[in-house]
Structures are given as C-alpha cells and as structure tokens.
Amino acid sequence: MQDLMTSSASLGPQLPKTPTGIDGLDEITEGGLPKGRPTLVCGSAGCGKTLMGVEFLVRGIQQYNEPGVLMAFEETADELAANVTSLGFDLQTLQGQGQLRIDHVHVDRSEIEETGEYDLEGLFIRLGYAIDSIGAKRVVLDTIEALFSGFPNQAVLRSEIRRLFRWLKDKGVTTIITAERGEGSLTRQGLEEYVSDCVILLDNRVIEQITTRRLRIVKYRGSTHGTNEYPYLITEDGISVLPVTSLKLAHEVSDEIVSSGVPALDAMFGRHGFYKGSSVLITGTAGTAKTTLAASFAHAVCSTGKRCAFFAFEESPQQLVRNMRSVGLDLAPFIEQGLLHVEASRPTLNGLEKHLVTLHRLVKEFKPDAVVIDPISNLITVGNISEVRSMLTRLIDFLKISNITALFTSLISGRNIQQEMTEEGVSSLVDTWISVRDLEGVGERNRGVSILKARGMAHSNQVREFVVTNQGVQLLDVVIGPTGIVTGASRLTQQMQEQAQALASQQELERKDREIERKRRVLEATIANLRTEFESVEEELRQINHEELVRQQKLADTRRQIAGTASAE
C-alpha cells in the first residue's frame, strides 16, 4: 500500500499531509490529514471524538516527533490523562518531557458579557502561546460547542468560527476540532463543516443488540479519499479503522509450497501443496473432518518450526488438543513451545470488527506464518451475509499482504450441497477450494474429498475417499467399478471380486503352465526315443560299412596274392 501511495504521489503535485498514526485512517485518507489545515471530527456522544484527537497528538509525538497542544473546554488535564491511561497513553509523562501541552479553558456562559466588539482574541493569544512554547505542529480543540456556547448572536458566532479556522491556517498547525452532531446537520452550528478542509463523521449505532461504530470522510479538499463507511473499534491500543474497499490488490506472491499435512492430499496438487501466502477454503457438511484437516495443516506448519494461529469458534483449546490427539495429531508440544496459539471464543462474544481487530493484533504480536479459522460459517450469527463477506474480504486481503497462509473451514447446509457454495460467498475470493462431502450408499456413510479449484497449479479432478484413523487422515486408492468409483462396503466387495478374479486368473495360468510342462516332458521323451533309435540305426549302418570295407580290403589282398603267384610261375 505504501508503494502504491508513493507511486501515485510521483504522478503529480499532491496536497501535503500529516500522517495520524491511527491504524487504517491514514490508508483511507491516502496519507493523513491536510497539513497545516483544520480537520473537523464530528459525531454523537460515545463515538470517540476526544480519543481520536488525543491519539492524533500522542502518535504524532511518538512516531513523528511532532509536539502537540490539546486545548480542552470540558475536561481538565488530570481527567483527560486518567481517561486515556488504560489505552497506554501517558499524557503526564509527555507533558513533563515538553512534547505535549494540555490547556483547560473553562467557558461559563453566565460570565460572558456580549458586546459588539466581543471576540476570541484572548483565546488566540492563549493558544498561540501554548503552540510557540513547545513548537507544536499539531493542535486539538475539544469541543467547539463549549467554546461557542456563549454566542447567542448567530452573526457574531459565524464570524468568530471563520476567524478561528483562518487563524489556525495562518498558524500553520495541523488541527483536529471536535464537534457534536446536530439535528439535520453534521454539527450543532451547521457552519463548521463548510469552513473545514476535511470533515470526518463518526457514528455509533446498535444493530441487533451489537454496538457498531462507523467512520466516513464527508469531504477532503484537494485530495482523493475513501468515500465509504468504515468500521472502527476502540481497543486497548487506541482506535483501529478497518478499511473495506481501500485495500488494493498489489501484494507480493511467493512460489514457496506449504504442505496440507496430508501427503496423499498434497499429491493431488500439481506442486504438492499450497502456495505460501495463499488462502485455502475447506467446505463440507457436519462430520466431514473439516477441523481434522485444518488441524493437520496446523500440525504440518508447526512441525517445520514455523508459527500458526488457530481461531476456534466451536471448541476450547483443551478439547481441540484432546480430540486431535485421538487421530494421531499431538498439538500440545507445539503450544508449549510457542509455535501454536489457539484463540477460542464464541463468535457472539464480539462483533465482526472486534474479531478482525483481534486477529490483526494477534498477527502483529505473534507473527504467525499461517492462520486457521474454524469455521467462518459461525460468523453468520453476529452479522448478515454482506457484513460477513465484507469482513472476510478485509481479512483475506490483510493476510495476503502479510504473506500469511490462511486456511478457513466452512459448514455448508444441505440445500447448498449441489451448488457447493458457501453462505458467506467467499469461495470466489480464495485461491484454493477443497470440498469434503458425504458419499452415501449401500446403507453406509463415507467421506470424499475433491479439489474444486487451485489457482496457479494443476490439480486432480478425482473424488478421493478418505478415512480418519489413529494416524490421521488417509486417502484411499481409487477403485473403479462397473458404474464408476465405488466406496465403503462396495469398495470391499469390489476388491474381493477383483481378488477372486485375480486368484482364478492365477490358478488358470498355473494350470496352463503345468499342461505346458507335461507336454514339454512328453515331447522331450519322444525326442529322446527318436534320438536313441537314430543312434542305433546309425551304429548299425556304421558297422555294416566297416564290415564292407574289411571285406573289400581282404578281397583286394587276395587279388594281389593271386597276381603275385602267377607272375612267379
């Protein structure tokens, strides 16, 4: 966000602004209040006007080294200091350091004698001295009604209001002036909002027995600003404004992969897990192991030495640890090591904004790498669908900007099973959507998991059956039957049939092998007999041939002997 503001500021001359240091307010005003100009903060009783002014001064001193002056017309310095001590604002110490000046001005209407020349010159001298004594850059006047209560003459009143605002501008101090809300106008006099350069309206309303505060910037001369109503809270750390639409999609992304805690589920993703900093939604009906999957993710995060914040809206930390231990997930060691923080409460304990501020505070203090909220569907009990969607949108954007991996679970009712939509309507906002469902058939109830979407990576399109065992969640192999994927008892029947078929095939192969072996032995015996007969015939022929050669040799010898005898005679 700061980069965007810097880039937008480089496009052309911008109105000089003074950052307030109040969470969210500088973001909505795109930099802070108009520097050296008065800002009007108006609202009804109890909306935090005085607190905003005090925090504006304290943050200016602590964060920007800008001294401030608080001129109060209703409360004394001691009363103001006591009222804001619980918020961590030590006004007395700041006064002792010469960085803050608190001046209480008591205005009693009965003591004011109106004349034609009566004006606020004395106030200007007093305020000017306070500003010059500490070199103040910020001023708060609380409240303007008390200052002008002694002016029944409207002409004089309007003239003095204009002169007050002009004097503050000429003085060059950034000023917050608080005012009470009027009937039919933003203020009692109906003039302050016209002469102010910036007007902030605070509203305190009760909706369905839940107190909700809203802030709106009515006008801001010379600058663009958020124009919607923004929820804000008064917490132990001061005022926190929660912008709804001012967050811009300009966060950094990571290619790092985070495991879901279930290896077989990781294998269904092309990158074998979730992207770090992404948002994951697990939806399903009751009893489909959404919390177990969420705890598996938290267990996997903590197993790598990283931190995880777990928001549980249905179980206490002790119950969560006990239940997860029964499925092989021991979370207790991680809690003891400070790697896992379980924040358990009923959603009705606070309003939506309070839950969001609690998460903001926990992220700031605990600095987790992952956040689990189980389940977000329970937030419907403290707000309507549009408010819950708005709150979750802000939450998702905040976690993305912080590069924190977020996992949400949500309960879907029976009427939404076919549409696979959540009542909160955040399925389109998340990066990964996992659906767990009931697979009913043959008189039993089984569980199945599928990936509906995974931005930035390929993923499986199968519906995988899974079981919850003593070793956690285990995905079963896909078994295809004549009518498609089979589960439960049908899976066992199909496996038995396949095993029987495999056994029969194996036995048939063994029978054929034995038949071949018998034929081979018969053939070898036949070949041996033929070889024996051949050898006998060969031996006989060889003997006949040898005898014939001997006979021929003897005949030749006889002929030579006869021939020799005849020659001698």
Which tens digit of pLDDT belongs to each residue from 188-229? 565 566 777 899 999 887 766 667 788 889 889 888 877 778
Range with the lowest mean pLDDT among 151-155, 302-306, 445-449, 517-521? 151-155
**Which residue has better confidence, 406 or 440?**
406
Contact (CB, 8 A) for 195 and 30: no
pLDDT interval class at 417 (50, 70, 90): very low
H, E, C per residue of 163-224: HHHHHHHHHCCEEEEEEECCCCCCCCCCCHHHHCCEEEEEEEEEECCEEEEEEEEEEECCCC
Look at residue 208 in the predicted model and tell me its pLDDT: 63
Tokens of 217: 């910037």
Q: What is the pLDDT of residues 95-134, one digit of tens each?
A: 989 999 998 887 655 544 444 444 677 788 888 999 999 9
Look at residue 173 in the predicted model and tell me its pLDDT: 92
Residue 115, CB-side half-sphere exposure with 13 Å CA sphere? 5
Nearest to 376 by CA among 385, 363, 368: 385
Residue type, 294: A
d(CA 254, CA 277): 7
**What is the percent of the chain where pLDDT is above 90?**
27
Q: What is the pLDDT of residues 512-530, one digit of tens each?
A: 988 999 999 999 999 989 8
Place of tokens 């350091």: 97
**What is the percent of the chain where pLDDT is above 70?**
81
Look at residue 487 in the predicted model and tell me its pLDDT: 57
Range with the lowest mean pLDDT among 304-308, 390-394, 506-510? 390-394
Q: What is the pLDDT of residues 148-171, one digit of tens each?
A: 665 666 666 777 778 888 888 888
CATH architecture of 16-108+118-241: 3-Layer(aba) Sandwich (3.40)
Alpha helices in 242-316, H assignment, sequence order: 263-266, 290-303
In angstroms, how far apart are the furthest CA atoms of the chain?
199
Contact (CB, 8 A) for 218 and 200: yes
Look at residue 299 in the predicted model and tell me its pLDDT: 94
Look at residue 189 in the predicted model and tell me its pLDDT: 62
Mean pLDDT of 18-30: 86
Q: Coil, strand or helix: which one is 161?
A: helix
Range with the lowest mean pLDDT among 40-49, 445-454, 558-567? 558-567
Q: 244: which DSSP letter?
A: S
Instruction: Decide if pLDDT at 419 tops 60.
Output: no
Look at residue 432 in the predicted model and tell me its pLDDT: 93
Look at residue 286 in the predicted model and tell me its pLDDT: 86
Look at residue 143 in the predicted model and tell me its pLDDT: 80
pLDDT interval class at 230 (50, 70, 90): confident
Contact (CB, 8 A) for 405 and 276: yes
Instruction: Decide if pLDDT at 1 tops 60.
Output: no
pLDDT interval class at 59 (50, 70, 90): very high
Place of tokens 């089979």: 486
Range with the lowest mean pLDDT among 2-16, 157-171, 176-190? 2-16
Ranked by mean pLDDT, the top range of 155-164, 300-309, 529-538 is 300-309
Taken in order 312, 314, 316, 320, is the CA torsion positive or negative?
Answer: negative
Range with the lowest mean pLDDT among 146-155, 221-230, 419-428, 538-547? 419-428
Instruction: Decide if pLDDT at 318 tops 90.
Output: yes
Choose the CATH number for 257-478 among 3.40.50.300, 1.10.10.10, 3.40.50.720, 3.65.10.10: 3.40.50.300
Instruction: Decide if pLDDT at 186 tops 70.
Output: no
Contact (CB, 8 A) for 489 and 445: no
Look at residue 5 in the predicted model and tell me its pLDDT: 41
Tokens of 327: 């499925």
Contact (CB, 8 A) for 401 and 1: yes
pLDDT interval class at 4 (50, 70, 90): very low
d(CA 202, CA 178): 10
Cβ neighbours, 10 Å, residue 509: 10
Look at residue 151 in the predicted model and tell me its pLDDT: 60
Nearest to 63 by CA among 5, 97, 22: 22
Those residues whose C-beta lies under 8 Å from the C-beta of residue 540, and which sit 6 or more positions away, are none
Instruction: Decide if pLDDT at 484 tops 60.
Output: no
Range with the lowest mean pLDDT among 262-271, 341-350, 477-486? 477-486
Domain spans of the chain, in order of start: 16-108+118-241, 257-478, 484-569
* pLDDT mean across residues, the chain: 81
Element (H, E) at 238: strand 238-241
Instruction: Decide if pLDDT at 9 tops 50.
Output: no
Nearest to 376 by CA among 473, 399, 170: 399
Instruction: For the chain, report the end-to-end CA distance as a whole number of angstroms.
Output: 145
Q: How are the residues of the chain apportioned to helix, strand and coil, as percentages rounded to the nearest 5?
A: 45, 25, 35
Look at residue 493 in the predicted model and tell me its pLDDT: 67
Place of tokens 């056994």: 503
β-pair type (38-43, 198-207)? parallel
Residue 244, CB-side half-sphere exposure with 13 Å CA sphere? 17
Mean pLDDT of 52-56: 92
Tell me how many degrees the CA angle 141-52-251 measures, rounded to the nearest 5: 140
Q: Hey, do 16-108+118-241 and 257-478 end up sharing a CATH topology, with the first three levels equal?
A: yes
d(CA 322, CA 50): 47
**Which residue has better confidence, 190 or 549?**
549
d(CA 307, CA 66): 37
Instruction: Decide if pLDDT at 414 tops 80.
Output: no
Task: Print burial letters for 401-426: b (CB count within 10 Å at least 16), e (below 16).
Answer: bbebbbbbbbbbeeeeeeeebbbbeb
d(CA 467, CA 317): 24
Look at residue 267 in the predicted model and tell me its pLDDT: 92
Those residues whose C-beta lies under 8 Å from the C-beta of residue 381, and which sit 6 or more positions away, are 347, 348
Range with the lowest mean pLDDT among 49-53, 74-78, 182-186? 182-186
d(CA 50, CA 142): 7
Look at residue 305 in the predicted model and tell me its pLDDT: 93
DSSP states of 438-449 as a string?
Answer: EEEETTEEEEEE
Look at residue 265 in the predicted model and tell me its pLDDT: 93
Alpha helices in 250-403, H assignment, sequence order: 263-266, 290-303, 317-325, 332-337, 352-366, 385-401
